[in-house]
Structure 1
Amino acid sequence: MDDNTFSRRESLGLAALVAGMAAVPTAAVAAGKTPKGKPKFDFITKIDFKDPKWTRDTYARIDADIDPAKEKCGWIKGKAMGVRPNEKVRTLFGVEGFSFVRTKKLEDGSYRRMLREIVFYRDPVTGEIMKEWDNPYTGERVKVVPIANDPFNFTISEFIQGPPSYGGLQKAEPTKIPFLQNWEYGPDGSMILQTGIDMIYPNALQPDKWVRESSGVMNRVSEHFIYTVKREDVENPHLTHIPHIGAWSRVTPWLPWMLMGQAEGMINYFTHFTTVAGEKELPADIVAAARAMDEKWLHAPTEDYGPSLSSLENYAREQKPAPVPAGWTPPKPPPAPSALPMRKPE
């Protein structure tokens, strides 16, 4: 069997996901039109998993819209789980947000994607956007700080660009390694892309200053994505953005506003995402919350600027260290259970 083809068992497991793609129409279908004539933009549509230029063009069409006059809106929703030793994993809060992204084609054929993203945290019971949160690990009520990254830009090239620098905290030299991704054919004319990155780099929140916010000297993060698309969309020379549905997971230290310090444990995000037709298809409450912060969150950047920082680096720039109560120590997980008594054989 072709290594790039899902097994029957895997295909059956994806059946419901692929069926959902029928609800994500292409722009042409949504408008009731079938494009004719020469495509407005030139990009590679012949599928070749070993061609870095096909990979570049296809990923740019998924991640954004290669028509610079258009902006793509992505919506994400899920939950964040707390993980500590000796206790079950628990849901801490819901996660929901959106991004707006635009591209600019560079002289060498690469694409510069320019993005703003904002994510809010919801009460896991009521679903309301939280401004404060009762931390079950510490018993404290803390201020919630949403993810608000402006910008988060990078280049999509035929060569691997390396990990984000986060304002110089993570250093990586440019490479000439061809940009290839983990593509597979799925059931019913679908294609599945899996991407991810595993990183450890200096923490912008150093523990000597950010006693209650910092998880330690180094920051360890792992992010992974799954995209499901229609093969006919990938091969469509008129489609500058490829509609998709997908899943995003992230393993990350405790969020700084939780005030956990260097407590043992971590956060796991589990979410799904898709393309939506802009503000009108986003939940009204997160649109209102974003607009209350700044109208810019409802639009993609029109120019390339930086630096591109994650929520941790932005936290270090925009927030102040929390007071440290006398005698405070990070919360500890429950003790390990004692060994279970051995039963004597009968």
Structure 2
Amino acid sequence: MLEIEQNRRLLLGSLGALGTSTLLANPLAAAEANPVSSGAGYSFDTPMENVRTMARLTSTLEPGKTGYVRYQGRAFALLENGSNVAIYDIDGIGALRALPQPNGAIRFLFSEFALYLDLKTGLPLERWTNPITGREVEVWHQRNGPVNYEIAPDKAMFGQFVRADGVTNTGFQLPWTIRGPFATFALDVVSNRKNALDPATWPLESSGETIPTTEHSQYSMLLSDLNNPKLLSLPFFATLQSIKPWHPWMLMGKRLGRVFARMVAQKVSGPEVLPAPSLAYAKQHLSAWMEAPAEWTGQYVTAQAIYKATRTPQK
């Protein structure tokens, strides 16, 4: 049975990622200089507005509709001697539905997948030769979900992610900055949640008892779009960076080092924007994570839990 974590975060990206997951939201960021408190038609310091903005950004407030975010980038192995090596490209989709609640909170139904691509061909990897160990391994592409989480005007944080600077807020507040015609905010968050893969049972797949993670993102949108209440789904552009332990399928165990990923993300119409080979691969192998969950169950199913439920320890 899948291990389930409840009440964790997500914004895009998790965006991201997705390796994302990330891609999606964490409202606990270190604010940049020159924060704003008001704007033409938009109340930047109102928690209710900030909650609705997260829904407009990462999903849509149009009833019954799903918002899709695509994130693309490259991953690098950060080695113990300080060097790094490019290991694969990333192309992923997060699907998110927003369910406004009577108390002003919004519940989100989320699933995501990310494909790891060959650096030269751009095609989804089936096998991969680890440049550090020299071992050829089967690639296990990223997937998360079903993920259910909720954000509310009176809650400054949710789940196991916290602001990298340790500061806490009263109410849901994004650290806005106005840059000419653009409204932006940066999110810098850290977590150290329990690893579903016990290193005693999964010595090659598990990086340790916990999963230390740091994620950094910058979201930008047109101020005119933000000020338009009729625009229920906000276009945006984001940059995402993360540092995480080795993926289980890399069979690196507790070896020193990390995976660094840098990505960009934006709102898209759906998975059909992927290149034909990637879309075909996703439909064949990852169809369960291509659309948002159908209903609220309170679940947060992690990639590690899915891996544990569907794989066996390697030797």
Equivalent of residue 174 in structure 2, options 165, 178, 181:
181
Structure 2: tracts of 5 or more residues without a match: 1-32, 162-167
Cα deviation per residue 1:24-64 (whole Å; 9 max; x = unaligned)?
Answer: xxxxxxxxxxxxxxxxxxxxx94233211111111111011
Instruction: Count residues with an aligned counterpart.
Output: 275
Cα deviation per residue 1:139-189 (whole Å; 9 max; x = unaligned)?
Answer: 1100111111121221121133644369xxxxxxxx9941111111113x1
1:75 maps to 70
After TM superposition, list the pairs within 5 Å mapping 1:277-316 onto structure 2. 277-293=269-285, 295-316=287-308
The answer to whether the 8 A contact 2:183-2:222 is kept is: yes
Report the AA paired with residue 72 of structure 2.
K
1:303: Cα distance to partner? Answer: 1.1
Cα deviation per residue 1:207-251 (whole Å; 9 max; x = unaligned)?
Answer: 111100111122101122211100111111111111011111111
**Aligned-pair RMSD on alpha carbons?**
2.2
After TM superposition, list the pairs within 5 Å mapping 1:44-59 onto structure 2. 46-59=41-54
Secondary structure of 1:313 counterpart = helix
The answer to whether the 8 A contact 1:249-1:271 is kept is: yes
Report the AA paired with residue 102 of structure 1.
R
Report the TM-score when normalising by structure 1. 0.74
The answer to whether the 8 A contact 1:276-1:282 is kept is: no
- Cα distance in structure 1, aligned partners of 2:158 and 2:301: 12
Q: Which has the larger radius of gyration?
A: 1
- Cα distance in structure 2, aligned partners of 1:255 and 1:248: 18
The answer to whether the 8 A contact 1:253-1:267 is kept is: yes
Q: Which has the higher strand share?
A: 2
Report the AA paired with residue 269 of structure 2.
A
1:131: Cα distance to partner? Answer: 1.0
The answer to whether the 8 A contact 2:59-2:67 is kept is: yes
Equivalent of residue 128 in structure 1, options 111, 123, 140:
123
1:306: Cα distance to partner? Answer: 4.7
Report the TM-score when normalising by structure 2. 0.81
1:206 maps to 198
Secondary structure of 2:197 counterpart = coil
1:202: Cα distance to partner? Answer: 2.0
Q: 2:57 matched to 1:62?
A: yes
Moved more, 274-283 or 251-260: 274-283
Q: 2:111 matched to 1:116?
A: yes
1:241 maps to 233
Higher relative contact order (CA 8 A, sep 6+): 2
Q: 1:306 and 1:284, CA in 2 relative to 1: closer, same or farther beyond 3 A? A: farther
The answer to whether the 8 A contact 2:87-2:119 is kept is: yes
Q: 1:217 and 1:295, CA in 2 relative to 1: closer, same or farther beyond 3 A? A: closer
Secondary structure of 1:232 counterpart = helix
Secondary structure of 1:195 counterpart = strand
1:71: Cα distance to partner? Answer: 1.0
1:109: Cα distance to partner? Answer: 1.4
